[in-house]
Amino acid sequence: MGCIKMSTSTLFIKTFCVSLVLVSLVIIVGCTTTPSGSIGTIPETSLPSTMVSPLSSVSPAPVLTANPEHSAANITLTGNVYGLSTYPVTGIDTITFSIGLAPQSSAVDLTRLEIVFSTPVAAPVILTQGTRESTSTFTTTMGNYAVTSISPGDEVEITFRVTGVPAGTNVNIEVRPPVGAALPISRTVPAVISSMIVLQ
């Protein structure tokens, strides 16, 4: 009788364990499979096409538009600097050279341009644009015609008078546009002066 009780208990325990295993398998399989049909379908969520990746969340720098009043002038020297002399013995009395603008520059109002001229023995003189050459004004011409502005592609000749600068003297010229960097020019009057010479 004791053996029968033992067998029944063992059978019950085995049956109970197998049932637990089967129930566990059913639960696991049920959790990992998706039921068929519209009820068991998991809706897909699509991201908007305009959404930006978190890595590229930094917005691009704004593009600056050109403003004639605030853009750099970028004045350039377009050739030699010449010294003219009425009396070569006393030195040169006129300086002339041509300027241009870099391709992307805005037009420059030459009436607001300044030129600073100096030598080691003479104090700087500030010249402004005028209709006549003098030691305090300079003229701006293009093809022998007076002009008051310069645009990219133009070549404007600047001419002004100086008080007799003798041979061997260093001269400093600074072209200052109303907006943008100044153009510095340093030259030396050659040892031999004629009516027209190239400053070295």
Q: Which CATH class is domain 75-198?
A: mainly beta
Please give the Cα distance from 123 to 11 (Å, whole number). Answer: 121
Task: Provide the CB-side half-sphere exposure for 105 (13 A, CA).
Answer: 22
Kindly report whether the global pTM for this prediction surpasses the value 0.75.
no
- Reduced to 3 states (helix: H, G, I; strand: E, B; else coil), residue 116 is strand
Structure tokens at 80: 């030699």
pLDDT, one tens digit for every residue, the chain (200 residues)? 444 444 555 666 666 666 666 655 555 555 555 445 445 555 555 544 444 444 444 444 444 333 333 344 589 999 999 999 999 999 999 999 999 998 888 889 999 999 999 999 888 999 999 988 888 999 999 988 999 999 998 999 999 999 999 999 999 999 999 888 899 999 999 999 999 999 99
- Reduced to 3 states (helix: H, G, I; strand: E, B; else coil), residue 6 is helix
Please give the Cα distance from 84 to 91 (Å, whole number). Answer: 9
